[in-house]
């Protein structure tokens, strides 16, 4: 893997896989995290993904895992802040693309952030939706 700028956008599926030993992608997520540590990769995300991840961890793993994510992982992330124009653009993307592609509104926000604010930054995700949206995805 070659992240030319040592930056990657992280999705809920990546965070969940990296924290849930029973997830089928746990080992792959660990390899990516080790790469990030060894290469000083900065990890980016949005508050939407933090919210989605904390909720998923609470529902599918435990309260402890969700709180640990918020207390240890979240502070190490670069959280992208955006205004209503991004939400408006995401709504248009969602309306246009969700008819043919099964994407969440959070995916639409991520798409607009990645393509509009982060210059197509590579993504760490195990969600096929990002690839289906034409984003550069690892692994």
Domain spans of the chain? 7-134
pLDDT, one tens digit per residue, over 31-52 is 999 999 999 999 999 999 999 9
- Gap between the Cα atoms of 44 and 137, Å rounded: 14
Which one is predicted more confidently, 33 or 3? Answer: 33
- pLDDT tens, residue by residue, 107-129: 999 999 999 999 999 999 999 99
For 28, how many CA atoms within 13 A lie in the half-sphere containing its CB? 14
> Is the domain covering 7-134 a CATH 3.40.50.1010 domain?
yes
Confidence of residue 4 (pLDDT cuts 50, 70, 90): confident
pLDDT score of 134: 93
The predicted pLDDT at position 100 comes to 86
């Amino acid at each position: 893997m070659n992240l030319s700028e040592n930056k990657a956008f992280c999705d809920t599926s990546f965070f969940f896989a990296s924290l849930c030993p029973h997830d089928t992608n746990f080992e792959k997520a660990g390899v990516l995290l080790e790469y990030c540590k060894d290469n000083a990769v900065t990890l980016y995300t949005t508050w939407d993904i933090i919210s989605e991840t904390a909720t998923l961890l609470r529902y599918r793993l435990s309260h402890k895992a969700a709180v640990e994510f918020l207390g240890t992982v979240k502070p190490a992330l670069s959280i992208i802040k955006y205004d209503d124009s991004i939400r408006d653009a995401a709504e248009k993307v969602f309306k246009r693309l969700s008819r043919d592609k099964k994407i969440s509104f959070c995916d639409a926000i991520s798409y607009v952030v990645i393509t509009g604010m982060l210059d197509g930054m590579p993504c760490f995700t195990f969600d096929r939706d990002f690839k289906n949206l034409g984003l550069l995805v690892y692994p």
